[in-house]
A = this chain, B = another copy of it.
Amino acid sequence: MTEALELTGALNPRSAWDAERCSLAKALEVVSTRSAFLLLREAFYGTERFDDFASRVGVSDPVAAARLKQLVEDGLLVREPYREPGQRTRYAYRLSDKGADLFPALVALMQWGDRWLAEDGPPVEVRHKRCAATVHAELRCECGHDVALGELELARPGARRRS
A162 to chain B, nearest CB (A): 11
Q: Name the 5 nearest CB pairs between A and B, nearest first.
A: A23-B113, A4-B46, A27-B113, A105-B108, A128-B141
Asked if A94 is an interface residue, CB under 8 A from chain B, the answer is yes
B126-A5 in contact (CB<8A): yes
Copies in the complex: 2
Q: Considering only CB atoms, which chain B residue lies closest to A156 in the complex?
A: B124
Chain B proximity of A91: nearest CB distance (Å): 15
Interface size on A, residues (CB 8 A): 98
Q: Which residue of B lies closest to A136 (CB)?
A: B140
Pick the most buried of A18, A96, A116: most chain B CB atoms within 10 A of its CB. A116
